[in-house]
Amino acid sequence: MSQGRWRGRTSGGAVLIRSAAAVMRLIRQPGVVLLSPPLALIGLVLDPRARSESMRYFRHLRPELAGDEHLGLAWRHLSAFGRVLCDRMLAYSDPQRMRIQFDVRGGAILREAVASGRGCLLVSAHIGNWELAGQTLNRVGAGRAHLVMIESEDPEVRALIRANMGDAPPAIIDPRDGFAASLAINAALSAGDVVCMLADRTHPGQTWRALPFLGREAPFPIGPFQIAAATGCLVLPCFLLKRQRHRYVLVVDRPWSIATSCSRQSRRQRVDEEMRRWVARLESVVRSHPFQWHNFSDFWRPP
- The residue among 3, 79, 92, 7 whose CA lies nearest residue 43 is 79
Q: How far is the CB of 173 from another protein (least distance, A)?
A: 11
Counting contacts by CB under 8 A, is residue 120 touching another protein?
no
Q: How far is the CB of 115 from another protein (least distance, A)?
A: 21
The correct pick among 22, 34, 183, 259 for binding another protein (CB under 8 A) is 183
Counting contacts by CB under 8 A, is residue 177 touching another protein?
yes
Select from 45-53, 55-63, 223-231, 293-301 the region that touches another protein (CB under 8 A): 223-231
Q: Which is nearer to another protein, 167 or 179 (CB)?
A: 179
Q: Which is nearer to another protein, 207 or 257 (CB)?
A: 207
The correct pick among 181, 196, 235, 250 for binding another protein (CB under 8 A) is 181
Number of residues that bind another protein (CB under 8 A): 23
Counting contacts by CB under 8 A, is residue 184 touching another protein?
yes
Q: How far is the CB of 263 from another protein (least distance, A)?
A: 6
Select from 36-44, 137-145, 148-156, 226-234 the region that touches another protein (CB under 8 A): 226-234
Counting contacts by CB under 8 A, is residue 174 touching another protein?
no
Q: Which residues bind another protein (CB under 8 A)?
A: 1, 177-187, 190, 207, 223, 226-227, 230-231, 262-264, 267
